[in-house]
Structure formats: C-alpha cells, structure tokens
Amino acid sequence: MKGLLRKMSVFQNPIEPPHIVKGWIDNKQNNGSGIEIPIFYPGTGKQVSVLIEDSEEDVNKAVLSARKTFEKSSWRRLSVEKRIEILESCRKLILDNIEELARLECLGTGLILREIKGFHIHRAAYNFRFFAQYISQAHGERYDNTEGYITLVNREPAGVVGLIAPWNAPLALATMKIASAIAFGNCAILKPSEQTPFSLIKLASLLQDVLPEGVLNLVNGRGPITGSSLVSHPGVDRISFTGGTVTGRKVMMDAGKQLTPCTMELGGKSANIIFASADYQRAIDGALIGIFSNNGQQCLAGSRILIEEKIFDQFVEEFVERTKKIVVGDPLNDETEIGPIASKQHMERILSFVEKAEEDGDKLLVGGKRHSEENNGYFIEPTAVLAKSNNSRTCQEEIFGPFASFISFSSEEEAINIANDTEYGLVSYIWSDHLPTIMRISEEMRSGVVWVNTPMMRELRAPFGGYHNSGVGREGGYSCEQFYTEEKTISIPKAPLNLKKFGK
C-alpha cells in the first residue's frame, strides 16, 4: 500500500512525558490514594507515565471542596461581567499554551499533532469564548398573563457537576463541558479518561490561576472506581457524560439512584448517504473525511456509506484507490493523515471486525491488517468492506476506528430504511444537489443531527446529541443553559390579596 508507513522504529515522544500524573483538588495537586495505572504512548506502544488513581475517598474530597465553594463563596453569584472576564482568561491560557497542550494531547491519544494544533486546541479555546458570549445575552422570563400577578422565572446554577470525558478528543470535548458548567455558575469535577489524562491535567493546572479554589477539581482513574464514585455521590447535582453506550447505561443507572440528572453523549453508527445527484468529487472527499478523520475514532463518523446504485461501483473503486494512498504514520509528521489507534486493546477490537465481516459475508475491499513493521505503535491500515447487508455487524456495531462499510440503495425509500435501521441515531450525512431529496431525507432521518453536503459542522448555538442509543439530552448554547441551571418560578401579586379567612 503506497501511502502507508515507512520504517517507523524511531518515533519520538511528542513531549517529555510527565513522570507521574495526579489530580487537582482545591487548586492543589492531590496525592491520590488509589493504585498506579500505566499510560502508554500509542505511537510507540511504550509506557510513558503512571497515573495515580483517585479512590472513593479522593472523589469525596473533590465533591466536598466543590460543594464548599458553591455554597460558601461568591462564585455562584458572580456578576456576568466578571464571569465573562474569567472565561476569556481561560481561553487566553489555552491559546498561550498551544504547543504544550497539543503535544500532551498527542502523547495521550496519538491524534495527529497538526490537527490538534489546527483544530482541537482552537475549538477548546473557542468553547470558553462561546459561553462567555452566550451568558452576556442570557435572560430570565416574566409572565403577567394571569390577572393580578407577575411571575418571574430565574435560572440558578445547578450546583456541583460531574463531567466525565472520553479518550478520543479530550480537550475539545471536555472543554465544552467545563466552559458551560462554569459559565452558568457551577463548580465542576472533571474525570478524564484514564488512558488520556495528560492534556486535561495540564489544562486544569493552568486554569487554577484564574478560577477560585474548588471551582474546577479533577480526579483520575478507571470508570468503575473513580467514575462510578463520582456518579454515585449524593453531593453531585448533574452528570455530563461522553463515552460509549454500554458505559452510559451504567452511569445512568448509578445516577438514577440519587435522581441526578444526566446528559449522555454516546456512540454512533452514522449513515453517509450519497445520491447520484451529488457533486461526485465532493462526496468522495466528504466520505473519506467522514470516516478517516481523528484516526477514525469519532462518535460522528460516517461509518455506513450508502451509495445510490447508479454510481456505486465507480464510487467504491475511487474511494478504495484513495484509501490505499492515505499516509498512516507518525502523528508528529506533517504528512501523516492517520495516526495510531489510541490503545492496544482498542486496536485489537477494531481488527476483530475484519473476522466478523468475513463471518457475516462482507467482502474486504482494502486494509484490514495491523501495520506495525518494527514499531510497536498501534497502527492499522485504513479499512473498508462491502457489506453483505445492513445486518452485518460492521453495519450494526460501532467500530470506532478507520473502518468503513459500503451498502448500495436504489431508491430514496430504501436509503431511508437502511439509514434508520440501527440502534443509534447521532448524525446522518446527505450528499445531493437536489433540494427536494435533501428536504425529504433530512426530515426522515432518525438522528439528532443532519449534515447536508458537508463533513462535520459543529454550530455551538444549536443542540448536538443523539436519538435512541446515541444519547440523552443535548449539548449546545441553550441546551447547556437548561442542563446546568435550575429554573425557579417566583409568583408575586401586584396588589395585596383579598384572602379567604379560614376559621373566622
């Protein structure tokens, strides 16, 4: 495969790894009391650091610290001007530390350094600016429709919020949660993925300079230990979770015991529907971007590529030719298009779908193997299969890697049926220049987001989230305001009431 790895045995770490990683509580590093967990750099497969897990006791300390700040300090009542100033300072701290944050993100995730610097970091910084701008316009409600009364609806911060992040894009995803939680006056406890804590720990340490003590605490560790202690803690008022659907179910069950409201940003198996009426070259570019960006590890990947019969053979052939030329390799190299998979276990899981595809009668079109040569990094060939039908496991299960499945369709009706025949419902992509087709298909899609003639386009003002097993609730300007605040209704009579007099 022409575009794939050359000799890779000399890959360097993106940055001198921190010897040991710990959480933050009360603006101080916390010496966690749990076990040590090794962390590996996906580019070499070598252990680079050790994380100290935070136990239930540490989580309790983090929650008490956040609760104290929320209840006893002026944080939740800060003026909007002051809060905007703080959010803007957070943004500036990120932009002033692009290089280090980006290299730490690369060290944890194996994402391509060029893309982290070009997109992820700017998105992380923008999340703070976006919520600063949002709160400058936020307002309550007032009703005087009922004669003699005025009723006000205030929004107050929800309290202490637990934020649980995945490993695939830690900075971009966790900052959406942090920025929105603090913009609305909450105190937050962040739990990064135990596989990719570096960049978020650095971010938390930077933000300690501008955030009062206890506003952002960070705990580390495995989901069933640290994550579960956070979710089950009675002192936590909200849980915002991004991760897999199976984990999401457990989190909701734990949170349900305390009736803690949750938002769930979960998995996807999104259909990328390409009509013969599409701009052909753009649709090919879009399909490649849709499945291979972010090393293929994205919830919104267009992983089921549905193509209208008339253009099917030609489209698949060109897609496969382009895939063969994709440069897989060192995430520090500017030419690289796909870097390593984030962990050995995940790489093996992705590759297991090659066997599943064979068992289900799919045809392997390209890729399908580990690409390691002398390097132990977690590299795999970008892969595509021709699915026997939409029932194949490659079409029904989230693979979460650079792995596409092709299916053909011959009518709009068939495209709709195939696209909606999934337990997920995060995103649908439509490629067509025919407006009635675009309108009809958009309306029929059972997904929270529809992108037409474009790869990922995240409008932060609009809700983002999924139908079915892709999630519960939404993230976005207004959606976050609703989630991170409590509504309080205050009714006042305009004049003294003439009250009924019991017992008189």
Footprint on this chain of ligand NAD (rule: CB under 6 A): 164-168, 173, 191, 193-194, 222-224, 227-228, 231, 242-244, 247, 250-251, 265-268, 299, 398, 400, 426, 471
Nearer to ligand NAD, 187 or 301 (CB): 301
Nearer to ligand NAD, 254 or 381 (CB): 254
State the DSSP code for 294.
G
CB of 131 to ligand NAD, least distance (A): 17
Nearer to ligand NAD, 163 or 416 (CB): 163
CB of 61 to ligand NAD, least distance (A): 18
User: How far is residue 242 from each of residues 162, 245, 358, 409, measured CA to CA in Å?
Assistant: 11, 9, 31, 33
Residues 6+ apart with CB under 8 A from 497: 148
CB-nearest residue to ligand NAD = 223
Say which of 105, 194, 213, 265 is annotated catalytic.
Answer: 265
Q: Could you give the count of Cα atoms lying within 13 Å of 40 in the half-sphere of its Cβ?
A: 15
Nearer to ligand NAD, 242 or 295 (CB): 242
> What is the C-alpha separation between 372 and 200, in angstroms, rounded?
29
> What is the C-alpha separation between 23 and 471, in angstroms, rounded?
28
CB of 394 to ligand NAD, least distance (A): 16
CB of 293 to ligand NAD, least distance (A): 13
CB of 452 to ligand NAD, least distance (A): 20
Burial of 289 (0-12, 13-18, 19+ CB in 10 A): middle
Nearer to ligand NAD, 367 or 471 (CB): 471
> What is the C-alpha separation between 35 and 225, in angstroms, rounded?
11
Using DSSP's 3-state secondary structure scheme, residue 58 falls into helix
Mapping DSSP onto H, E and C, the string for 194-254 reads CCCCHHHHHHHHHHCCCCCCCCEEECCCCHHHHHHHHHHCCCCCEEEEECCHHHHHHHHHH
Nearer to ligand NAD, 140 or 224 (CB): 224
CB of 266 to ligand NAD, least distance (A): 5
- Other C-beta atoms closer than 10 Å to the C-beta of 81 total 9
- Strand duo 271-274 + 304-308: pairing: parallel
Using DSSP's 3-state secondary structure scheme, residue 139 falls into coil
CB of 175 to ligand NAD, least distance (A): 13
| 278-283 long-range contacts, CB within 8 A, separation 24+ | 278/431, 278/432, 278/433, 278/453, 279/431, 279/433, 279/453, 280/311, 280/315, 282/431, 282/453, 283/315, 283/431
Are the beta carbons of 298 and 437 closer than 8 angstroms?
A: no
- Strand duo 149-157 + 485-493: pairing: antiparallel
Nearer to ligand NAD, 242 or 394 (CB): 242
Are the beta carbons of 176 and 127 closer than 8 angstroms?
A: yes
CB of 194 to ligand NAD, least distance (A): 5
In the residue annotation, 187 being an active-site residue is answered as: no
Say which of 90, 187, 299, 395 is annotated catalytic.
Answer: 299
The residues facing 156 across adjacent strands are 486
- Strand duo 403-409 + 28-30: pairing: unpaired
Residue 268: both structure tokens together: 């996807």
Q: Which amino acid is at 109?
A: T
In the residue annotation, 480 being an active-site residue is answered as: no
Q: Could you give the count of Cα atoms lying within 13 Å of 393 in the half-sphere of its Cβ?
A: 14
Nearer to ligand NAD, 83 or 123 (CB): 123
Sequence-ordered alpha helix ranges (H) in 73-165: 80-96, 98-109, 113-115, 121-137
Nearer to ligand NAD, 279 or 348 (CB): 348
CB of 235 to ligand NAD, least distance (A): 16
User: Which are the catalytic amino acids?
Assistant: 265, 299
